[in-house]
Structure 1
Amino acid sequence: MRIQRIESIPYAIPYNHPLRFASGEVHTADHVLIRVHTDEGVIGTADAPPRPYTYGETQKSIVAIVQDVFAPQLIGVDIMDRAKIRQVLDRTIHNQVAKGALDIAVWDAIGQALGTPAHKLLGGFTDSMRVSHMLGFKPARELLDEALRFGEQYGITTFKLKVGRRPLALDIEACRVLREGLGEDVELYLDANRGWSANESMEVLRQTEGLGLSLLEEPCDAKEAMSRRRLVERSPIPIVADESAPTAGDASRELLSGGANAICIKTARSGFTEATEILGLCTGLGVDVTMGNQIDTQVGSLATVTFGAAFEATSRRAGELSNFLDMADDLLAEPLQIVNGRISVRTVPGVGAAIDESKLARYRQDHVLSTSN
């Protein structure tokens, strides 16, 4: 079974409200739907969410690299030859989101061809993941109201608070209000998106000591090498590398240099193949992993839960799976459901990301952008 055609379809779906954090804000999901067609009629599907302020990729750059560089080299390749496909993608540096989506689409096609759910091909550890919900930049009381609402409506008991604001008192107050309002049984952790310096991060940890925070993600720019190592050494909670560790090589650098002692895995930028390599590195070194979210649609969130549920290590913590609730609409034909704080994998062959074609037609930003032989 060989790759016959690859589609890269730009589309745009608005958010119900802007999502704000230290590295930027988003108003619309300007994403790219990737489809890998085989000569036997199987179609693998994945979503590519560009984040130019973090990784440099844009909707146009993803369409261009897939159409002009990757597709001409991949057409005619056997869908089962994952190592050969990976070699083609690795010839081009960067462009992690485009590569990740192509990799997931290939895994989806393989699962369909073999009649097996992708999460079982990957590892099949469990069939669902607990959900962590992201709380963005808002006044402390509004953050608490949102967390209480999501806890009551969806059964979510883990929340990631976006921080990195100045003055630091804004985020310190939010931590205190959330802990007081949610109680001790709810997990809270922080993500600064490089918004602070390492020294500011240490001050925040000092002032929030005793609030039971579980993690601090990407507190400062990894280029602050010496200060960040000092932060990791002194922090009472794990310091998670996220934007600074999109590849297995980057994760190795951060862990071995002392720049982090936990890693966030995002399938949106690593696909399933490199995510597996990153996970193996982390389990071998004995460091914690989290399953992150790149402000994913339901298509992207389904890929995250597919991978996260496949392994024991990635299913220990709640995965960031709920950002799609902030979107005005979505492309997935069968919407994801959060039940008792969990999302289940799909039991159909592949990933199970069947697309509502009428919605795709409504939101796509082109007529037909595809590459064929």
Structure 2
Amino acid sequence: MKITRVEAIPFAIPYRKPLRFASGEVHSAEHVLVRVHTDDGLVGVAEAPPRPFTYGETQASIVAVLRDVFTPEVLGLSPWEREVVHARLGRTVGNPAAKAAVDMALWDIIGKAAGRSVTELLGGYTDHMRVAHMVGFASPEQMVDEAQRVRTEYGITTFKVKVGRRPATVDVAACRALREALGDDVELYVDGNRGWTASESARALRAMDDLGLTLAEELCPADDVLGRRWLVQRCPIPFVADESATRPGEVTRELLAGSATAISIKTARTGFSTSQRVLFQCEGLGVEVVIGNQVDGQIGTLCGAAFGAAHRLTAQRAGELSNFLDMSDDLLTEPVRITGGTVRVRDEPGLGIEIDPDKLAHYRQD
């Protein structure tokens, strides 16, 4: 079985409302559908969501690097030669979402060829993931309304609260309002997207010390090396490295330097193969992990759930798997459903993804 073609199809689906956080604002899911074809007729599917304000990738750059650089490197290889593919794509720096999509599409093919789900192939720990929902910037009242609606409609009881505004008292008030409205049986944690300084972060954490927060993610920039270490030493809860730890080497650097005490794994930027490398690093060092979300659509959500459910460590926490709820539509013939606060992985061979051709024709941008 050999790779014969790689498709990179740009598409755009509007959000029901803008997603706002400290590092940027998103109005439309301008993603890239990646399909890897083989001479056996098997096709692997994945999604590449660009985040230009985080990694520098755009929809156009992902299409271009897949078409002009990566496709020539992988044509003729077997999907089973994942390490060869990894080495060849690694010659080009950056481009994490493009690389991750190729890797996940190859796993989809392998699962189809083996007649097994990707979750089974990766580890098969469980068949579902608890879901955490991201609450973006808004007034405290609006944030409470959204969280209450999501809890009532989907049974979700874990919420990741976007913070990082100035003054920090705005976000402190929002977190306090969420705790008071939702009660103590709901898990809350915060993500600053590098929006505060180290001292602002420390003051905000002290002001929220009574709220029972469980994690604090990327409150200040990793480039503030001494300030970040100073903050993490004083942080009373696990401090999560996300966009500052996009490769195994960065994970090692952040953890051993004392700049983080937990790691966010996003399959949209490290695929399945490198995500396993990161996961096993964290397991060996005894640090917590969370399955993050790169504002993925339903394709990316299924990938995150498939990986998270496959491993004991990732299945212990709720994964950030609900961002697709903010999209006005998606490309799947069978939509992802959140029931009782969980997403079930699909038991079909591969990832169980089937693209609706009419929806793709409607939303594609090429």
TM-score range, shorter chain: over 0.9
Structure 1 runs not aligned, ≥5 long: 367-373
Give the 5 Å matches for 1:87-126. Answer: 87-126=87-126
Q: Secondary structure at the match of 2:274?
A: helix
Q: Does 1:308 align with 2:308?
A: yes
Q: Does 1:291 align with 2:291?
A: yes
Deviation at 1:21, TM superposition (A): 0.3
Q: Secondary structure at the match of 1:12?
A: strand
Deviations 1:142-183 (A, max 9, x none): 111111111111000000000000011100001110101110
Partner of 1:240: 240
Structure 1 segments (4+ residues) deviating >4 Å? none
Deviations 1:110-157 (A, max 9, x none): 100111100000000000000000000010011111111111110000
Letter in 2 for 1:189: Y
**Whole-angstrom CA distance in 2 between matches of 1:269 and 1:260:** 19
Deviation at 1:292, TM superposition (A): 0.3
**Whole-angstrom CA distance in 2 between matches of 1:357 and 1:258:** 48
**Whole-angstrom CA distance in 2 between matches of 1:145 and 1:52:** 30
Q: Secondary structure at the match of 2:209?
A: coil
**Whole-angstrom CA distance in 2 between matches of 1:189 and 1:198:** 18
Q: TM-score, normalised by structure 2?
A: 0.99
**Whole-angstrom CA distance in 2 between matches of 1:167 and 1:210:** 20
Partner of 1:14: 14
**Whole-angstrom CA distance in 2 between matches of 1:192 and 1:333:** 35
Contact 2:73-2:89 within 8 A present in 1 as well: no
Q: Does 1:26 align with 2:23?
A: no
Partner of 2:204: 204
**Whole-angstrom CA distance in 2 between matches of 1:177 and 1:59:** 37
Q: Does 1:186 align with 2:186?
A: yes
Q: Secondary structure at the match of 1:313?
A: helix
Q: Give the CA RMSD over aligned residues.
A: 0.5
Percent identical: 58
Q: Secondary structure at the match of 2:313?
A: coil
Partner of 1:214: 214
Deviation at 1:210, TM superposition (A): 1.1
Deviations 1:215-269 (A, max 9, x none): 0000110011111111111111011000101111111110011110000000000
Letter in 2 for 1:209: D
Letter in 2 for 1:89: L
Letter in 1 for 2:194: R
Partner of 2:329: 329
**Whole-angstrom CA distance in 2 between matches of 1:233 and 1:316:** 25
**Whole-angstrom CA distance in 2 between matches of 1:149 and 1:79:** 43
Letter in 1 for 2:258: G
Partner of 1:251: 251
Q: Secondary structure at the match of 1:264?
A: strand
Deviations 1:309-345 (A, max 9, x none): 0000001110000010100100011101101000000
Letter in 2 for 1:8: A
Letter in 2 for 1:56: G
Deviation at 1:79, TM superposition (A): 1.1
Q: How many residue pairs are counted as aligned between the two chains?
A: 366
Q: Does 1:168 align with 2:203?
A: no
